[in-house]
């Protein structure tokens, strides 16, 4: 197998583009470079909770928030999401930022096409009751 060198920033972008079932950089790049991306309308299957939980200590924030939302299992208020994310961090020995609420809120907004702040990398979260309602859900649980 050949090796290529990439910056930390590029490495992070590769993993930020990860979709369910992709377990290596090769898997991610094969999909991205072959052009076989899913449409925006496709509902994303969340990762299994035990798979996500095994690596939460070193996960991206979107993965921590996704795991917390899976634990909740239904649309939830920001206040409830903050509490569950804090519990998940404590349970998995993950350091919490000083501004946990801002971090969680930003993570939800960055990863939701319902948000004006959407980063167009992954579309995991949604606002099932509309903008400014403070209610969030996993896009796959939007009902």
The predicted-structure confidence for 30-47, as pLDDT tens digits, reads as follows: 777 776 544 333 334 444
Residue 134 in this model has a pLDDT that exceeds 70: yes
CA distance to 26, 31, 51, 58, 112, per residue, from 65 (Å): 25, 25, 14, 13, 12
CATH number at 1-37: 1.10.1220
Model confidence pTM above 0.75: no
The predicted-structure confidence for 92-131, as pLDDT tens digits, reads as follows: 888 888 999 999 999 999 999 999 999 999 999 999 999 9
For the record, the structure tokens of 43 come out as: 């509902």
């Amino acid at each position: 197998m050949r090796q290529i060198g990439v910056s930390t920033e590029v490495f992070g972008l590769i993993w930020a583009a990860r979709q369910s079932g992709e377990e290596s950089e090769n898997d991610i790049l094969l999909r991205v470079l072959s052009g076989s991306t899913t449409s925006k309308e496709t509902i994303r299957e969340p990762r299994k909770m035990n798979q996500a939980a095994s690596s939460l200590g070193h996960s991206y924030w979107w993965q921590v928030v996704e795991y917390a939302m899976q634990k909740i299992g239904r649309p939830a208020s920001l206040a409830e999401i903050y509490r569950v994310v804090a519990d998940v961090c404590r349970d998995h020995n993950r350091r919490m930022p000083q501004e946990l609420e801002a971090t969680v809120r930003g993570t939800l907004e960055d990863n939701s096409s319902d948000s004006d702040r959407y980063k167009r990398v992954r579309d995991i979260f949604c606002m099932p009751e509309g903008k400014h309602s403070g209610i969030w859900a996993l896009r796959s649980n939007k009902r």
